[in-house]
Chain A
Amino acid sequence: MGDKMATEPILEEAAGVCVNAHGGAIGMPQLCAEWIPNQVFWLVVTLIVMFLILSRIALPRIGAVLAERKGTITNDLAAAEELKQKAAAAERAYNEALANARTEAAKIVAAAKADIQKDLDAATAKADAEIAAKAAQSEASIAEIRAGAMEAVQAVAKDTAKELVAALGGSADAKAVTAAVAARLKG
């Protein structure tokens, strides 16, 4: 103990009340009053410097950047909304044009159909008339032919009857033969 007492004044001078001769802490360095003015002074300096850096340069700059970004995003969103509406309008116009074209096409188709129908009807009517005319003509010629055939049959019958009468040795009265043939043909 006496030995330590002897060395103490030298230690005090070299290190102070908070640090021993080996540079180790005595107790809690946090409670060393000798260092407090130093810490407070440099803390105040640091806080003032940091406050000036932040309030003069950094915070206004970052605030401006954030505001600008927000503005840009708002503008972009508005532009996007506008473009979206334009696209919707274009689509509407396209659909309208498509619908118009469809009705137009339907109209043209209907008109074409009507035209074709008219032509068809006319052609049919013409053909019907021609067919009717031809039929009438044919009927007339058939009637003519039939009449001609009747006469020929009458003539053949008369001639045959005369020839038969003659062949049987009689002389046939032409009028009587004719009347008889006519009667037979009727009968």
Chain B
Amino acid sequence: MATGTEEHAAEGSGLAIHPMDQFIVKPLFGDGPVHWYTVTNVTLWMAISIVVLLGLFVLATRHRGIIPSRLQSVAELFYGFIHNMVEEVTGHEGAKFFPYVMTLFMFIFLANMLGLIPMSFTTTSHIAVTAVLAVTVFLTVTLVGLYRKGIGFLGMFWVSSAPLVLRPVLAVIEVISYFVRPLSHSIRLGGNLMAGHAVIKVFAGFAGAMGVASVVPIAAIAAIYGLETLVAAVQAYVFTILTCVYLRDAVGEAHH
């Protein structure tokens, strides 16, 4: 509380950098407290991502053209990309998880990309959001694995290709790594997004305070913005392909 007040006391001096303010969740209407049902900037930007999804996947494909329009071919590109990924990584058995994986990918991709618009709110920069996504994947993989393979799903932790004496040790490591998955899965995505946006904001603060020399931070922002665009796409890809890899444990052949 006290540190926050002190930070903002420096506002008058010109160098006022608040890189974390962009992550504040605030109600869209009024200043009341944020209840679970309150319509906030989270709601707004998630709704915008739904609108974009509708435009790209429903409006653009409404003609069902054999020769696709530009936007339809973009939608087909996404479809083919994720469909191939699911089939190649998860195997033929995993194909029925395609809509699920596609939903995850499109949500993360759109949230990341919309977050790059200046003044926007990046929903995937919050651990709360990415943790829900990762825990959902974790629960899906665990439940599907137990349902399809029964107790044999636990054989995943028993590395049968290793020497017998090593197997208990490896089993402990495998169990730990299995339960750490949702943590790394969510923090990788949220952390990447948060760090990139915070860095851009810090450089923007420099630009405001440096006068003519601010060309340097502005050029740096341009460069980082390009990098962040890459990160936005790559993190969506990474989250999705890891989901596919985890799903393979549940539905595919054992790969140990």
Contact = CB atoms under 8 A, between A and B. Distances in A.
A11 B31 CA distance: 13
Chain A interface mostly: helix
Contacts of A58: 53, 57-58, 61, 75
B25 A8 contact: no
Given A24-B21, A46-B107, A47-B103, A53 B50 contact: yes
Chain B interface mostly: helix
Contacts of B64: 61, 64-65, 68
A110 interface: no
Contacts, number: 162
A49 interface: yes
A57 B57 contact: yes
B40 interface: yes
A31 B58 contact: no
A104 interface: no
B76 A66 contact: yes
Interface stretch (B119-127, B203-211, B236-244): B119-127
Interface in A1-50: 4, 8, 11, 14, 16, 18-32, 34-47, 49-50
Interface of A: 4, 8, 11, 14, 16, 18-32, 34-47, 49-51, 53-55, 57-59, 61-66, 68-69, 72
15 contacts: A19-B24, A27-B20, A29-B23, A29-B24, A30-B125, A30-B190, A34-B33, A35-B25, A39-B128, A41-B36, A42-B43, A50-B49, A65-B64, A66-B76, A72-B66
